[in-house]
Amino acid sequence: MRIKITLLAVACSLVIGRPGHAGSVPVRAANGMVVCEEAIAAQVGIEAMQTGGNAIDGAVATAFALAVTLPTAGNIGGGGFLIYRPAEGEPVAYDFRETAPAAATADMWLNGGVYDPLRHHQSHLAVGVPGTVAGLYLAWSENGKLPWQRLVAPAIALASNGFEVTDGLARSLKQALPRLKKYPASMAQFTKGGTPFEAGDILKQPDLAKTLKRIGERGPAGFYEGETAELLVGEMQSGGGIITKNDLKGYAARKRQPIRGNYRGYEIISMPPPSSGGVTLVEMLNILEGYDLAEDGFSAARNVHRYTEAMRRAYEDRAQYLGDPDVNPLMPIQKLISKQYAQHLRNTISETGASKSAPDKFDWRPESSHTTHLSVVDSQRNAVALTYTLEQGYGSAIVVPGAGFLLNNEMGDFNPAPGLTNDQGLIGTDPNLTAPGKRMLSSMTPTIVAKDGQPFMVTGTPGGRTIINTVLQTILNVVDFQMNAQEAVDAGRIHHQWLPDEIWFEQFSLSPDTVEILQDSGHALVEKKWPSAAQVIVVDRDHGILEGGSDRRVPDGAAVGY
């Protein structure tokens, strides 16, 4: 397969902090653009659009290619969310989150009455019913232009013929080696007979190519039925998992109404539950709309304080209310995203002192940062924001023998057991307990911003629970601080998630004086390495040109346009 990079944002060392530093120049293109975490996959999406496809075609082709070239998060064995805003018509949300198998129970993570984190996160039981293939097919069947086989073909070629391993992929595979060693099929696929791949080696995945070919020929039936399903269920049976042929055949992606809000005259279109992203994002934007952020400046202590207090309140609501809407139909979503509720919350914020999060010793359990996002805009200005994942990097680390794809460990996103909430970070509240067919709560936040009836910005990122706040800050950076796409991605970030009661801040993102002011106001601050890879497209306000910004915190991201 011909892979030719036409316009590529070059990965380089990153100086984080004040916006506008040297090197924060976006990729610009007149017609279409794909921004994602791997350059070959981005080019695959561009070529789909150059040959008559639209943004949905570009996104589907890119997503299948990422399943080959970005195995840590690109996938067919996981799930995710897609927001589509057509140039004409109403936006739509596609939910292809994984589901719990029919045999799942709320207490299945207990071993002899004691919570077992290995069972919850590192076992065949941790695998949810995959949704990616069904979700991509549903979005394509309703909106795509090119033939389905045409969109899967580049991924088949990449898996069959192989591609050159980058330094970033080589490092990633070496880091995953201790987990992969448990599974012979995983070692066979991602090592050279037990020897790690090095940069410049060619990685071929013939079993994955065969699975992708079945998907290309039969659509979802090539995954959820027939040989692929038999191989997946066989691995479940041999490893003690509970996914059955009926679970696979019964999986259905959902079409949902997006969460919609308004921030300073910009329309916000984001993902509804079972993603917590859209509700939490709009709630925070509504709170912050009551402040003149631009007056004080990008990283001023007063603004960081305001961000923190908005985050604190929205994440508390997230924990209390949000889950799978098919199981929790009474979630107060309209209240949470209303301007009136935001005003009430804003009135509880002091401009001079930090609030306190309670209970004092409570903490969240970890949420994996190993997700990936892609943003797409085509020549007609159809726009797609797609975030999907295997949960942990390389998911469960289990490659299905003979089928060549990694399985997720998304069941780990369910709460551990009824009532099991403690100071070690476990949450046992009802909305996100394990149940048959249930979708687990997520932080993924694919988002499209529109202005005056036209697309203005496409944004999203991996990063676990930091996802929502990273998306928030990319929007603030562009709307309030007039940054271009690359500046908005490069700018330093902060995060607060209600509990633990501390501000996480990226190195160089806050000045020593700002840190001191915040500490004097009662905030606790912790410097962190940022677990995200934002992928942003902005439509230039004056000329309509597309700007692409790919996160240089990760090694292989790219913005490709034509």
8 A C-beta contact, residue 392 and residue 121? yes
Token couple for 53: 């496809």
Tens digits of per-residue pLDDT, 352-386? 999 988 765 444 455 656 799 999 999 999 999 99
8 A C-beta contact, residue 223 and residue 229? yes
Query: For residues 410 and 396, what is the distance between their CA atoms, to the nearest angstrom?
Result: 8
Per-residue pLDDT at 357 = 87
Burial 39-77 (b: 16+ CB within 10 A, else e): bbbbbbbbbbbeeebbbbbbbbbbbbbbbbbbbbbbbbb
More confident residue, 415 or 473: 473
Catalytic amino acids?
371
Task: Please name the amino acid found at residue 464.
Answer: G
Residue 529 binned pLDDT confidence (cut-offs 50, 70, 90):
confident
Is 10's pLDDT higher than 60?
no
Which of 94, 67, 30 has its CA nearest to residue 384?
A: 94
Residues 6+ apart with CB under 8 A from 358: none
Is 9's pLDDT higher than 50?
no
Averaged confidence pLDDT in the chain: 92
Classify burial at 539, counting beta carbons within 10 Å of its beta carbon; exposed 0-12, middle 13-18, buried 19 or more. buried
Q: Which residue reads 């692929």 in tokens?
A: 228
Tens digits of per-residue pLDDT, 23-82? 699 999 999 999 999 999 999 999 999 999 999 999 999 999 999 999 999 999 999 999
Per-residue pLDDT at 407 = 98
Backbone torsion region of residue 162, taken as left when φ is above 0, otherwise alpha when ψ lies between -120 and 50, otherwise beta? left
Is 422's pLDDT higher than 60?
no
Angstrom CA distances, 526 to 381, 493, 496, 505, stand at: 41, 12, 10, 6
Token couple for 475: 């929007």
Alpha helices in 269-390 (DSSP H): 277-288, 293-296, 301-321, 333-336, 339-347
Task: Tell me the average pLDDT across 6-14.
Answer: 31
8 A C-beta contact, residue 109 and residue 20? no
Q: Does the global pTM surpass 0.85?
A: yes
8 A C-beta contact, residue 40 and residue 158? yes
Task: Tell me the average pLDDT across 87-99.
Answer: 98
Q: Which residue reads 């700018």 in tokens?
A: 491
63, 66, 71, 77 alpha-carbon torsion, rounded to 10°: 20
Per-residue pLDDT at 499 = 84
Per-residue pLDDT at 431 = 73
8 A C-beta contact, residue 421 and residue 427? yes
Query: For residues 466 and 41, what is the distance between their CA atoms, to the nearest angstrom?
Result: 25
> How many percent of the chain have pLDDT more than 70?
92
Q: Write the DSSP string, 164-208.
A: EPPHHHHHHHHHHHHHHTT-HHHHHHHSBTTBPP-TT-EE--HHH
For residue 83, list its beta bridge partners: 93, 385
Per-residue pLDDT at 4 = 40
Residue 12 binned pLDDT confidence (cut-offs 50, 70, 90):
very low
Q: At what angle do helices 206-218 and 148-161 cross, to 10 degrees?
A: 170
Tell me if residue 503 falls in helix, strand or coil. Answer: strand
Is 94's pLDDT higher than 50?
yes
Angstrom CA distances, 493 to 38, 154, 363, 402, stand at: 22, 36, 21, 43
Which of 482, 371, 424 has its CA nearest to residue 75?
A: 371
Tens digits of per-residue pLDDT, 108-130? 999 998 899 999 999 999 999 99
DSSP label at 439?
A: B
